[in-house]
């Protein structure tokens, strides 16, 4: 997860189709690789916390304006808890360090990119009940 994820169209395993087409043409060749998020593009990061702030996993430490509508919030990775030792505003790639958190076991570098296995649920503080029913309309299979 990171900035740039919503501006592309992906195949079934999160490979951007526009990048694959540039590499291989109209047909997808076996074994072609393309990162889901552009590692070279720089994003403008604006911190929302100060040095010395106490943070824990899931706390928002800054924002990146991904599109005119989408504001991407950069969070402390799950399982990390400590004090902000360093945080910088500016233009960064998703792999560059934007903050350092001093934890009980050392220092953790934070980037705009978080890797998370799809089969492992993200931690949350509380599960909120829906306020209204999600209506998706009639399924195509029910039409026939």
Kindly list the averaged pLDDT for each block of 10 residues, start to end, along the chain of length 144: 76 76 80 81 93 92 90 90 94 93 94 83 83 76 62
Per-residue model confidence (pLDDT) at position 111: 93
DSSP secondary structure, 35-87, as one string: -SS-SS--EEEEE-S-TT-EEETT-EEEEEE-SSS-EEEEEPPTT-EEEEEEE
Bridge partners of residue 45, in order along the sequence: 64, 90
Whether the Cβ atoms of residue 70 and residue 48 lie closer than 8 Å to each other: no
- Residue 37: phi, psi to the nearest 5? -125, 135
Q: In the CATH scheme, what is the code of domain 5-114?
A: 2.40.50.100
SS3 label, residue 22: helix
Which is nearest to 10 in space by CA: 42, 35, 40? 35
Q: Specify the pLDDT at position 141.
A: 65
Token pair belonging to 5: 């994820």
Query: CA 104 to CA 38: how far, in whole Å?
Result: 33
pLDDT score of 38: 81
* 84, burial (CB in 10 Å: exposed 0-12, middle 13-18, buried 19+): buried
Which sequence spans correspond to the domains of the chain?
A: 5-114
Report pLDDT for 139.
67
């Amino acid at each position: 997860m990171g900035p740039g994820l919503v501006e592309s169209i992906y195949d079934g395993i999160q490979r951007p189709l526009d990048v694959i087409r540039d590499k291989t043409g109209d047909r997808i060749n076996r074994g072609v690789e393309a990162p889901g998020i552009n590692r070279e593009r720089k994003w403008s990061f604006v911190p929302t916390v100060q040095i010395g702030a106490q943070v824990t996993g899931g706390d928002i430490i800054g924002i990146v304006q991904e599109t005119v509508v989408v504001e991407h919030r950069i969070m402390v990775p799950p399982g990390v808890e400590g004090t902000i030792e360093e945080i910088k505003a500016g233009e960064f790639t998703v792999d560059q360090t934007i903050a350092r958190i001093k934890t009980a076991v050392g220092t953790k570098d934070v980037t705009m990119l978080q890797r998370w296995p799809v089969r492992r649920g993200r931690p949350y503080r509380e599960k909120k009940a829906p306020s209204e029913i999600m209506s998706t309309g009639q399924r195509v299979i029910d039409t026939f």
